[in-house]
Amino acid sequence: MYERLTELGIPVVIMEPLLGGQLASLNDHLTTEMLTREPSRSVASWAFRYCGTYPNVMTVLSGMTYMENLVDNLNSFAPLKPLTPEEVSWLENEVAEEFESFPIIMCTACQYCMPCPYGLDIPGIFAHYNKCVNEGSVNREKGTKEYRKARRKFLVGYDRSIDRLRQADKCIGCGHCTPHCPQGIRIPARMREIDEYTELLRSDISPL
């Protein structure tokens, strides 16, 4: 849409520059690469600078929870250090390709799916799953050392962050949430997948 809006002389306003925070919490490999390239800047700053590099972008709307988020955002834009053509190419190709290869759920935690009639914490469930994917804590190869480590981290973190009464197994597939999701996520289907994976881990009788 950027090129078309520019042709029409319409300034661009960007929402969700961090994709609900997902672009600020990349996997370890991408995080290390970004910090190596720009040690004094945050991972999130790469997304902000990407947006700011395009001259027809008028405004970038970013949600901020903590004072350090505000400071980081200000430092990213004032003054703005535009990305080089090489950096843009790196982000659009290598980084984007690796990011898309991870099976995360494209939830931005907008909360439009809430409240769930059956009490599920839909954004919280997706956030925990995505966090575990980025940290390498989703592993389906039983019997390996990595599987046992991932199993413990996923289950312990799941029960700590999401109340048992609000976890994916409580989804009945009513579909009330689906039409409200601006990302088009098939929420009941993803809940079933997460519940099946969770039950696979819980059915393993080896100690955590």
83 and 22 within one domain: yes
130 and 81 within one domain: no
Residue 157 lies in a domain: yes
**What is the residue range of 10's domain?**
2-101
128 and 82 within one domain: no
CA 46 to chain centre: 15
How far is the C-alpha of 158 from the C-alpha of 128, rounded, in Å?
7
175 and 84 within one domain: no
Residue 159 lies in a domain: yes
pLDDT digits (tens, 9 = 90+) for 99-152: 877 778 989 888 999 999 999 999 999 999 988 887 777 766 676 777 888 888
132 and 60 within one domain: no
In this predicted structure, what is the pLDDT of residue 39? 94
Number of structural domains in the chain: 2
- How far the first Cα of the chain sits from its last, in Å, is 49
Residue 107 lies in a domain: no
158 and 192 within one domain: yes
**Which residues sit opposite 61 in a β-bridge?**
15
Six-digit token string for 91: 């982000």
How far is the C-alpha of 52 from the C-alpha of 75, rounded, in Å?
12
Q: pLDDT under 50 in the chain at which residues?
A: none
Residue 132 lies in a domain: yes
In this predicted structure, what is the pLDDT of residue 61? 93
170 and 88 within one domain: no
Which own/partner pairs from 120-127 qualify as long-range (CB within 8 Å, at least 24 positions apart)?
A: 120/166, 120/167, 120/168, 120/170, 120/171, 120/191, 121/162, 121/163, 121/166, 121/167, 122/177, 122/187, 122/191, 124/161, 124/162, 124/166, 125/162, 125/166, 125/167, 125/168, 125/191, 125/194, 126/190, 127/161
95 and 18 within one domain: yes
90 and 19 within one domain: yes
Residue 158 lies in a domain: yes
